[in-house]
Amino acid sequence: MPTNKIWYLRKRPIGDVSAGDLELVTEAMAPVADGMVRVRTIYLSLDPTNRIWMSDMDAYLPPVELNAPMRGGSIGVVEESGTDAVPVGSLVNTGLATWALYNDLPADAVNVLPSLPGVPLTAFMGPLGATGMTAYFGLLDIGAPKPGETLVVSAAAGAVGSMVGQIGKIKGCRVVGIAGSDAKCRWLTDVAGFDAAINYKTEDVGAALEQHCPDGIDINFENVGGPIMEAVIARLNDFSRMPLCGLISTYNADPEANTGPKNFDNLLMRRTKLQGFIVIDYLDRFGEGAAAMATWLMEGKIRYETDIVEGLEHAPDAMARLFTGANLGKLVLKVSDAPA
């Protein structure tokens, strides 16, 4: 029998995730049941939304229960199979599984990854994964970009933001990104093709937006919340759109201390359309989104970075990188090796 390693949620974090909130447990595994597949995790996806799942807030999914395995998405290889539909050796996306070395999942819950020439496995965690789909549907469905419009994206060097900006460029927008280091800003302008990037840690975001958005802001793809969001809202144009994708600046904060944007009234004055969305709402259109993103990727129009941390035991520490601004691109945890 193989043994499994599973991260259990033991306490609901207050503020930052800390030692003792989760526990890594080694367990024996039962045989694989009929109709199930045993997936060995290669890459575990680490995302800001993981922090939401650890809280008992009324979110878009129920919170992870205390003393249950932590929820997460991953890519892995099928090591044992209880069905002919998904043979051993298949590379699959698990959808929502757990933070574990192995996940036993119903065969119809996993998606076998297509083989695309020149596209590495990490792309299925980024542009072709949930974060890529988040960018694709949030920007195109809600943001409705038109050529010549100005798009601002916060957390721009993150997994979602970096895709949003590049899709915006493909659609003919002026694209301005907000990120947390000069290195990230250079990547945005020099590699990802953004028109401008603002380092919110060293620049006055409002003044920089004035400079880089001379015609105002038509689309605010919002990932962050807080004062950065207020600076963007203050410069929205009439009939602007605001896909509300995330509020990462608030996830670790005291819920009682949260406030909405002080200039909320500008959403009225500017007749802004703000729409919250969660990528799982678009599950039935992932095929469309992945096909478009794969085409752009193979045409060289989409660049992406993967920030890889190795070792299942580092999952909580690695997740902290999302909130300190340490990571560039998609943060993944490499749990085990891909097949040769």
Residues that bind a copy of itself (CB under 8 A): 57-60, 225, 238, 244-247, 250, 258-278, 281
For a copy of itself, the closer of residues 2 and 260 by Cβ is: 260
| Residue 161 DSSP SS3 | helix
Cα gap 309→46, rounded to integer Å: 10
Smallest gap from Cβ 184 to a copy of itself, in A, equals: 24
22-37 residues labelled b (16+ CB within 10 A) or e (exposed): bebeeeebeebeeebb
For a copy of itself, the closer of residues 1 and 268 by Cβ is: 268
Cα gap 62→55, rounded to integer Å: 9
For a copy of itself, the closer of residues 19 and 257 by Cβ is: 257
Smallest gap from Cβ 136 to a copy of itself, in A, equals: 16
For a copy of itself, the closer of residues 100 and 209 by Cβ is: 209
Are 85 and 107 in contact by the 8 Å Cβ rule? The answer is yes
For a copy of itself, the closer of residues 137 and 200 by Cβ is: 137
Smallest gap from Cβ 159 to a copy of itself, in A, equals: 17
Smallest gap from Cβ 267 to a copy of itself, in A, equals: 5
Smallest gap from Cβ 59 to a copy of itself, in A, equals: 5
Smallest gap from Cβ 261 to a copy of itself, in A, equals: 4
Smallest gap from Cβ 251 to a copy of itself, in A, equals: 9
Q: What is the DSSP string of 286-337?
A: HHHHHHHHHHHHHTT-----EEEEE-GGGHHHHHHHHHHT---BEEEEE-SP
For a copy of itself, the closer of residues 233 and 290 by Cβ is: 233
Characterize the bridge pairing of strands 91-98 and 71-81: antiparallel
Q: Pick from 34, 147, 29, 14: which is nearest to 81 by CA?
A: 34
Residue 80 has φ and ψ, to the nearest 5°, of -140, 150
- DSSP element (H, E) containing 243: strand 236-244
| Residue 154 DSSP SS3 | strand
Are 46 and 130 in contact by the 8 Å Cβ rule? The answer is no
Cα gap 311→104, rounded to integer Å: 20
For a copy of itself, the closer of residues 107 and 242 by Cβ is: 242
For a copy of itself, the closer of residues 31 and 260 by Cβ is: 260
DSSP conformational letter for 136? H
Cα gap 128→126, rounded to integer Å: 6
Half-sphere exposure of 59 (CA within 13 A, CB side): 17
Smallest gap from Cβ 143 to a copy of itself, in A, equals: 13
